[in-house]
Amino acid sequence: MSAWAPKRFWKAAQAEAVEGGFAIRLDARPVKTPAKQPLIVPTLAMAQAIAAEWDAQQGLVRPDTMPLTRAANSAIDKVATQFDGVVGEIANYGATDLLCYRATDPQALIDRQTAAWTPLLDWARDELAAPLHVTHGVIPILQPEDSLHRLRAHVAAHCPFRMTALHDLVAISGSLILGLAVARRRLSGDEAFAISRIDEHWQIEQWGDDEDAAALEQTRRAAFLTAERFLGLCG
């Protein structure tokens, strides 16, 4: 960003209405993206949340503590400029959606997957007009082309900012259906993340927890919930 500096130089960050949306200013200086584009976001709530991230910086600026700023940068510099490619990347998850690949055993795990995943596939069939096939095991199966086309259309209907959030929801969970369910408020972020981790939590129950794996899960969960928050701030 042109306004980025190793150390804080501004007294206050604030949101400001501008043509095309809302900008963030550091004193009188507008924040720009890494590609030198004006950081203009679609809602006042998002601009205020981003300004709060900047105001929270003390001493050295830490980009890792500014996830909303980074998401907005991605929406402007990457998603908006490579829109069709991002749509395709997200939509491709529909062909190998996590919810369609069930365990072969034990029955208790199969039952747990069925209870959590089948209602969401029913929702995709009824609400998204995109029925998907289910298999047991990891051998890839072909999904109905009409369903994949409809899912792609649902993805493409998002603006670059919402698309940025959807990308993370889908990539982290491994499920396009889960991502769309959060985007359409069918599920909360907490619910969707837990549903995406059924297999891993089953393994923990059988063999015990692993400290590194637990830390990684917490990192992924935080990123997932940040994506949900960013989506909500899009209005």
CB 230, CB 79: distance < 8 Å: no
**Phi, psi torsion values for 227, nearest 5 degrees:** -60, -40
Mean pLDDT, each 10-residue run in order, the chain (235 residues): 64 96 96 96 98 94 95 98 98 98 97 98 98 97 98 98 98 98 98 98 91 94 98 96
Q: Taking the complete model, does pTM exceed 0.85, yes or no? A: yes
CB 51, CB 24: distance < 8 Å: yes
Measured between alpha carbons, how far is 166 from 154 in angstroms, rounded to an integer?
Answer: 11
Can you list the domains of the chain with their CATH numbers?
Answer: 13-62 (3.30.2180.10), 83-233 (1.10.3580.10)
| The token pair that represents 21 in the structure block | 């949306």
